[in-house]
Structure 1
């Protein structure tokens, strides 16, 4: 049975999972289209549900962020910023990260389940679109698991609860209970490996997925799960993409010279966030990681005289997709953890050559042992990928390894001022609660925290 798509997306997906209005099924939409051709299915990838996958809420939970406003003005980001159990801002509506991810899953599932019935197109073309949908579905589940489930170690906690794995497009189906972490990650990695067999080598649109993008997503997932050898394997594949792979020389650029996302040679895949971080400032702790003269500060930030250093409104910093620098750093981390000190530092210094001006002290880093190399790789990763959607994942995996220090929230971003809240190592607050409306409407879905 073909799915019906409404021009207004308000009525899409399971009402009790994403909190659409209770009576939407009784309302006749003003416009509808039934996907029948390959082009119809391709058009699904143009909507924000398939391009702006990741709300920025988790960026406010990281140690990179500082919010200048008082508690009463924080609004939707307050619960994330202070690591309160619930991300819910309005108990009548699910938080965007849950709602948007499952909306994207619905569209992905439509393509996965129905594309082979399209009236035209070759089998290879249909499989290619299915591979795109599988990749997007895996990314959405990664975002959901990062927020609403514990960090995953296959050897330590495979049976911990993950999130509901929804693969059906039938809105009358019962919402499934939470799958285990192992079940969730097994589906994601299976999808991505299958997608790599079907996806094209290149695409002239960086919003679209190629086999090397799927490899990059696998590298990110395996990094998050601490499977560093597998992460290195897929990062190496991603770096072999025939699409332009050129690290930009930030030292030779002014703000107005910085390329748009669509033509940025460092971007393998663009996965945007709909927000602009206008209230997000660099934390005191993050600023300590940048040396004087680092071109990343010059290009991506501005000084607000009242609040501090914040992200430039026009900065190319909103894409949470896969980039070549991230893949290089995945490789460097694996090498450092494997005791390959010099190769790891060669990658770090290759990136720094394009970020730190020539002649600046400390431009080239040297490590004397594997632990030093790993610390330097992780520090460079934090600098290079700031506000790119990976820091909360890094905090969670490093906390699981015992490498994450306490994170503090101070008044005025000043460690000498009043302490408001601390996220302690090993804290249960690294996992946010399943949205209250989901729990209230689905008794088979269990909470993370005792109510």
Structure 2
């Protein structure tokens, strides 16, 4: 049986504990390993591990009747941050993330045994760099769900992820520290950026600019704003294009082009999740607090949102060009990372310059009034609000909320009421960290996250 077939048979199990034999039908050439990593629509760029965070976040709600009859027990429980989330259901975020890590490890293990010729060197570098990027990208996603928010003073003593660095999944898993988990991501990306081209041939492939953008995002979540700014700068030196939303076909069902980012000049790395029922045009209600953040003549209000048949407002502004949420990397995100870093170090004019550049591309022509004359607190507040507006439904709000809750100025309690019962997610709650899958705990004896 070929390796790909064997892996697809394994997807119904908790992925850390699947047994596989890499010697059966194994890839063996550089082209084979690149093909494994190019399996984008099925594995590497799809089913990204953002679902629990999006469901548990503060951007939308669903009606009581929809929740009561929702088909997935784990997603229904995640919506109210239940103590027992999964009730033995398979955890897609975990399984898909570790499946992609397994593919990356298979490529890295195989490439280690290939000494490329001079004509093969670029191809080997592309495959090696891609595998390292994919491993880091997936560990980052998983850490935002299954680990505590990063704090430098405690990270060495906090539970991280099981770090699989080899394709032999029969090796017993253990949880690394949070410091080791982030250290692995950073090391993989630092190596990958040396190997990859500045820009990719297709945006489902990693690149140097994608490494820089991801490093900027990781350092932002680590609250290392100096390095986040440095990598944002490096990103924008290579790619700083912005879409003028005035040129979009607002009358279309989905205003952004399809084609996996090929026709979207803002996309740095293309990645998405399927549209689950909660994200559908019929079920989603965008939170009024989010909608109220948009100013008059801000085109994002009409580009991102539409009214469904039931009178509900739903999100339609995915860079996928359809209902499936885009959760990849973009220049607008990196511009906002840089603006936040500028604001936090007091470079207010630079922060406002980035905000004004973005605003010109988002408002109706002639209606955007430049931001100026604001103090440091106002500029930081402005940037953080703009992150909510610009990066809505990208999977980013969950990690932002975890980070910002540590600052009393920005801490927020999220609440939902179903059938008259109030559910709340308070700042610093253990329920900002999702439990590991039930079967993983049973099979490995790893320490579970407290609820």
Whether TM-score is above 0.5 comes out as yes
**Contact between 1:63 and 1:285, CA under 8 Å: does it hold in 2?**
no
For residues 361 and 418 of structure 2, the distance between their equivalents in structure 1, rounded to whole angstroms, comes to 35
Determine helix, strand or coil for the equivalent of 2:403: helix
- Whole-angstrom distance in 2 between the partners of 1:42 and 1:11: 21
Provide closer, same or farther for how the CA distance between residues 4 and 183 of structure 1 changes in structure 2, counting only shifts above 3 A. farther
CA RMSD of the aligned region, Å? 2.6
Q: Distance in 2 between matches of 1:250 and 1:317?
A: 20
Counterpart of 1:206?
A: 203
Q: Distance in 2 between matches of 1:447 and 1:367?
A: 49
For residues 380-419 of structure 1, the aligned pairs below 5 Å read 380-402=386-408, 403-410=410-417
Matched, 1:430 2:447: no
Q: Residues 273 and 319 of structure 1 are in contact (CA less than 8 Å); yes or no, is this contact kept in structure 2?
A: yes
Q: What are the ranges of 5 or more consecutive residues in structure 2 without an aligned counterpart?
A: none
Count matched residues: 429
Over 3 Å counting, the alpha-carbon distance change for 1:435 and 1:162 in structure 2 is same
CA contact (8 A) 1:239 1:324 kept: yes
For 1:165, the equivalent position in structure 2 comes to 163
- Pairwise CA distance, 1:407: 1.2
Deviation at 1:303, TM superposition (A): 0.4
The Cα offsets for residues 72-109 of structure 1, whole Å up to 9 and x where unpaired, read as 22343222221224442x50x43100000000110010
Is 2:352–2:371's contact at 8 Å kept on the other side of the alignment? yes
What pairs with 1:286-365 in structure 2 (closer than 5 Å)? 286-312=290-316, 314-315=321-322, 318-360=325-367, 363-365=369-371
Shifted more, 395-404 versus 63-72: the winner is: 63-72
Residues 201 and 25 from structure 1, CA distance in 2 versus in 1: closer, same or farther, beyond 3 angstroms? closer
1:254-312 CA-to-partner distances (Å, cap 9, x unmatched) read 23463332210001110121236214331122112112332112122210252521023
Check the 8 A contact 1:151/1:400 in 2, yes or no: no
Distance 1:395 1:377 in 2: 14
1:149–1:431 contact (8 Å) kept in structure 2: yes
Corresponding position of 2:237: 240
Rounded to whole Å, the distance in 2 between the matches of 1:247 and 1:425 is 34
Quote the Cα distance in structure 1 between the aligned partners of 2:132 and 2:2.
20
Would you say 1:224 and 2:245 are equivalent positions?
A: no
Check conservation: 2:155, 2:177, Cα contact below 8 A: no
Superposition misfits of 4+ residues, deviation over 6 angstroms: none
Distance of aligned partners of 1:16 and 1:447 in 2 relative to their CA distance in 1, 3 Å threshold: same
- Distance in 1 between residues matched to 2:195 and 2:373, nearest whole Å: 41
Unaligned runs of 5+ in 1: 27-31, 413-417
Deviation at 1:440, TM superposition (A): 1.3
1: CA distance, partners of 2:425 / 2:160: 22
Q: Confirm or deny: 8 A CA contact 1:148 1:434 kept in the other structure.
A: yes
Q: Name 1:269's counterpart in structure 2.
A: 269
Which secondary structure does the structure 2 equivalent of 1:137 belong to? helix
Comparing 269-278 and 57-66, the one that deviates more: 269-278
CA distance, structure 2, for counterparts of residue 152 and residue 404 of structure 1: 16
Structure 1 55/378 Cα, relative in aligned 2: closer, same or farther at 3 Å?
closer
Please give the alpha-carbon distance, in whole angstroms, between the structure 1 residues aligned to 2:373 and 2:413: 25
* 1:86–1:134 Cα change, 3 Å: farther
Partner SS state of residue 6, structure 1: helix
Distance 1:399 1:15 in 2: 34
Aligned to 2:7: 9
Q: CA deviation at 1:50?
A: 1.0
**Structure 1 counterpart of 2:380, from 374, 382, 397:** 374
Say if 1:428 and 1:158 are closer, same or farther in 2 by CA, change over 3 A: same
Contact (CA 8 Å) 2:203, 2:267: kept in 1 or not? yes
Given the two structures, how large is their TM-score scaled by the length of structure 2? Answer: 0.88
Whether 1:62 and 2:57 are equivalent positions in the alignment is: yes
